[in-house]
Structure 1
Amino acid sequence: MEQHELLKFVCSLLDRLKVAYMVTGSQATIAYGEPRFTNDIDIVVDLTMASIGEFCDGFPEDDFYLSRPAAIEAVSQRSMFNVIHPSSGLKIDVIIPAATPYDRLRLARAQRVQVTDDFNALFTTPEDIILKKLDWHRMGGGDRHLRDIAGILKIRRDRLDFEYLIQHVNRMGLSELWHALQARVQGN
């Protein structure tokens, strides 16, 4: 199974189950910025105790490794769990969103992105990827997040909602980091 096939598999399942989701992380960075290698799929999924069973049932045991107890715990703790496709070595990080107003807003703002000719999926917006990557960098996530943001700014600068960005940069206490990144990007 190729990465885009696994992405299509999980997103199609979520669409069928009518569970809110958004592709995030490296896949979204690649969709909005510059290509880079990644071996996993990060997806925010608004799973509940009522929907977790059907979600887990969607991954046949012969093809996937999925710990139901870990999935149930992740839903109850609003954390994450993994789905692994052993024959390809690919992994899905299933992230249960926090019950914060910003996380609800991010999920509501998700937009359809054409992944292949016959498949589209809901992706987090480029503005929300920038905000989350700034936050991850601030928490010690490394310069990779800043490089990803620089790639998005390079490719999509004229299509970004800077009003939204600045509002949330200020709200999240990311102003200093945002201004430093802006200076760095404009210097290149």
Structure 2
Amino acid sequence: MELYELLEQVVGVFDRLAIPYFVTGSVASMSYGEPRLTNDIDLVAGVRLEHVAGLLAAFPPDAYYVSEDAIRDAIRHQTQFNVIHPQSGLKVDVMVRKDTPFDRSRFARARSLRPTDSYTAFFASPEDVIIKKMEYYREGGSDKHLRDITGMLKISGYEIDSVYISEWAERLGLQDIWTAIQQRLKQAP
């Protein structure tokens, strides 16, 4: 199984179960920027307790690893659980939607994209992907997030709302990172 095949299966399940979601992380940044290697898919989803049985049925244990306890715990604590396809080594990190102003904004701004010719899926806006990547950079310091952001701004910069990013960067305490990214772009050849 390939990454976008797994995404198609997961999106189909979430659509059938009427679970609101959007793709974020590196898969989303590649959609707006430059390709890179990844073996996981990040989704933010409005998973609730009434979805647990349907999720477990949709991902049978002979093909997937999904923990009922992990799903329930993620819902209770608004954290994440995984859908793992052991045969391919691919996984989906499902982050349970939080009731925060930023998550409400991200869901309102999600857009439908066509990752392959066979299906469409909801993706976080490029601005929201950039904001989350700045948060991840602040938390872990990994340059891959800065590379992803820079790639997105190089490829899709003309359609990215930098005012929106600046406003959220200020609200979330990310102004220094956003300023440094903009300076880095100005200095790039």
Distance in 2 (CA, whole Å) between partners of 1:18 and 1:169 is: 31
Q: How far 1:51 sits from its partner (Å)?
A: 1.6
Identify if the C-alpha distance between structure 1 residues 141 and 16 changes in structure 2 by more than 3 Å, giving closer, same or farther.
farther
- Matching residue's letter, 2:102: Y
Find the aligned partners of 2:54 and 2:141 in 1 and give their Cα distance.
33
**Number of the residue aligned with 1:72:** 72
> Aligned to 2:49, what secondary structure does the other structure show?
coil
Q: Which moved more, 1:80-89 or 1:145-154?
A: 80-89
Between the aligned partners of 2:177 and 2:88, the Cα distance in structure 1 is 38
Task: Report the more deviating stretch, 91-100 or 120-129.
Answer: 91-100
1:108 positional shift = 2.0
Supply the distance in 2 between the matched residues of 1:127 and 1:148 (Cα, whole angstroms). Answer: 12
Instruction: Say which is worse superposed, 22-31 or 99-108, in terms of deviation.
Output: 99-108
**Could you tell me which residue of structure 2 aligns to residue 97 of structure 1?**
97
Aligned to 2:180: 180
Please give the per-residue CA displacement for 1:85-125, whole angstroms capped at 9, x wherever unaligned. 11111111111122211112112211011111121100011
Query: What stretches of structure 2 of length at least 5 have no aligned partner?
Result: none
1:134 matched residue in structure 2: 134
Q: After TM superposition, what 4+ stretches of structure 1 lie above 2 angstroms from structure 2?
A: none
Partner residue, 1:58: 58
Q: Percent identity?
A: 45
Shift of 1:2: 1.3
Structure 1: runs of 5+ lacking an equivalent: none
Partner of 2:8: 8
2:184 aligned partner, one-letter code: R
CA positional deviation for 1:78: 0.4
Structure 2 distance, partners of 1:175, 1:136, is 14
Which has the higher mean CA deviation after the structures are superposed, 94-103 or 120-129? Answer: 94-103
Cα root mean square deviation, aligned: 1.0
Indicate the residue corresponding to 2:82 in structure 1: 82
Which segment drifts farther, 50-59 or 145-154?
A: 50-59
TM-score in terms of structure 1 length:
0.96
Residue 33 of structure 2 corresponds to residue 39 of structure 1: no
Per-residue CA distance 1:108-162 (angstroms, 9 max, x = gap): 2110111111211000110000001111111224111111100000001100112
TM-score, scaled relative to structure 2 = 0.96
Deviations 1:50-71 (A, max 9, x none): 2222122211121111111111
Superposition pairs of residues 100-139 of structure 1, within 5 angstroms: 100-139=100-139
How many corresponding residue pairs?
188
2:154 corresponding residue in structure 1? 154
1:16-31 pair list within 5 angstroms: 16-31=16-31
